[in-house]
Structure 1
Amino acid sequence: MVKEFHGEVVHKKKKYKLDSLDKDIITLLGINSRLSLSFIGKLLKKRPDTIKYRLDNLENKDIIPGYMTYVSLNNLKKSTFLILFKFNEFSEFENIIEKLKNMKNNYIIQLAGGNWDLRIYVYSNSIEEFNSVFNNILKEISGSIKEYLILQMIKKIYTGIKMLSDKSFNINQTNYRINRSSFQKQLIKNKKKTEWDEQDIKILNILHNNARISIKDLSEKIDLATTSIFERIKKLVSGKIITSFFPQVSLLSLGYQWYKILIRVNPVSLEKIKNFLKNHPNTTFISEFIGEYNLQASIFAKNQKQLYNVLREIRTKYSKDILSYETQIVFSQIKNKLI
């Protein structure tokens, strides 16, 4: 049973080493965390109870503290922004963070190092609302900040957890039947026009921080029939409001460090660089922006040398296409809440 989880990512003092089976299980859940134990067992040629035992162990050690659903706020007709802050003094930093956490529109807050100390993702229903939200943030921190940068997010793509296992799994080309409650068929199809209501928002808020919850348990929480829950999730996935189900793996406890690479790319070359990063084993998310930078990659590397090699690989391959870039280290994620 997964403990209560709200998207937090923090450093753990204890480091763990995984064997190949644990790595393969995480990699498969990284493709779709709603895959059944039976399906995972068939692919790995293990009994379902063996997979369950391993998964329980990973959860109990907080290597997998939770399972998340990526919800596209843009496809919910929300405007989303990334605001980066550089502080000039930190005497009130902890109090400021607590105030920022309580602001509804701040849905992700990350503490960072490098050129920027704080990363806040904000959603709004309009540019006017964002301006109001941003001014409220400035009121709380205006005396402590040196500078800031605003980027408007266009799209965010989850790319999987590929750095742990040397195996490549294509679950869409297998003789084994994938459980319907994984919604894998809908995940790989093109977007369909979708309408939603308040019941759908309730479903999204629960799935956001518990992607492996059963249809039955979700039905009991919302007091809707299981068939209705199933069809609603199917609709939300088909409409690309839900774009992925994934485990929040504590890669920090496995010896990895979390980095964000902000890149200004020649727009003509944006798609080919996106595709390269999407398939890179160290990448977990890619975001597109309007602003000073138009691309961001979420990278996990074991040390500075590995990060250097990743950066050198990108810069060598696309030396004429990358106009500028900067790297940030993410120390922790202290909030990740939907709407």
Structure 2
Amino acid sequence: MEIGIDSFASAMYGSNQLTPVVAMEQLLERIELADQAGLDVFGIGEHHKKEFLDSATAVILAAAASRTKNIRLGSAVTVLSAADPVRVFQSFATLDLISKGRAELVVGRGSSVEAYPLFGFSLDDYDALFKEKLDLLLKIRDQEFVTWQGKFRAPLHNQPVYPRPLQQKLPVWLGVGGTPESFVRAGALGLPLMVAIIGGNTARFRPLIDLYREAGARSGFKPEELKVGLHSPGYVADTDAITINEYYPGYAELWTKLSRERGWPSVTRPQFDYLAGPEGVLVLGGPERVAEKLLRHSEALGGIDRFTFQMDNAGLTHQQLMYAIELIGTKVIPLVKAG
């Protein structure tokens, strides 16, 4: 199992707002440390809001590439529906050259939808946009000269797209939430699957992952080609009690804000305790408890190939996040590998 971190380049730690310059420098320090600590991957999301600095994902990753040597660098998630697939490919192919073959993409429709009006697209075309643009992105990845026609973009007539990446086939993961059609789509295309699970019981996604694997098998892909990744909130400290005490206040503040924005119910402490428990989605605790939970999640989902922690959205300080990265590299990863 590969283990890494996803970040939304938060400029907020609880009630303390950082300057964008300081927040960005701290983020790059965390990516550099993750590389040194032996983590496998670091992903940067995409939002277009004041509290996040991740609107230009590839730019951040390119800066990180110059400070790292081994860690894979990817998006988490690129909102492909509101982007031009040609520019997306060019940006990440360039990143692949800068990083010497460490770039990858996770593409999706986006759970935060502010990109659609910002770039002149309608939410009425939410799925149609993604389907068409994914088709074009994969054609560009697989063919240097592209002939293509669609509804939402000008056609291409034997048009070359440059630069080409260092990797023979730039990895493109499909980021999904809970829509069965998305799981089937990923399987039918043979794309690796990144499942974002932010609430409830992780095991409830097993039927959807089974749909993915069944669709992939019907399309002729081998089981080893159908990779499954899991993205969930999590945090690691020295002990279970310290982890919970440090994580809960910021988590509760975040979900109170989200509940107001999206009409979700506010989180209660009993609900949080369930989510932090053996079957819940939150991967929290000391290194031993976190490793046990990752292995339990993998078994419940029929095996997962990658797990990424979402840590920097719960009011944790830069120092706390840096220490968590050290613990993941020095203790969690060895425990998971030992099985």
TM-score, L = length of structure 1: 0.25
Structure with more of its chain in strand, by fraction: 1
Structure with more of its chain in helix, by fraction: 2
TM-score, L = length of structure 2: 0.25
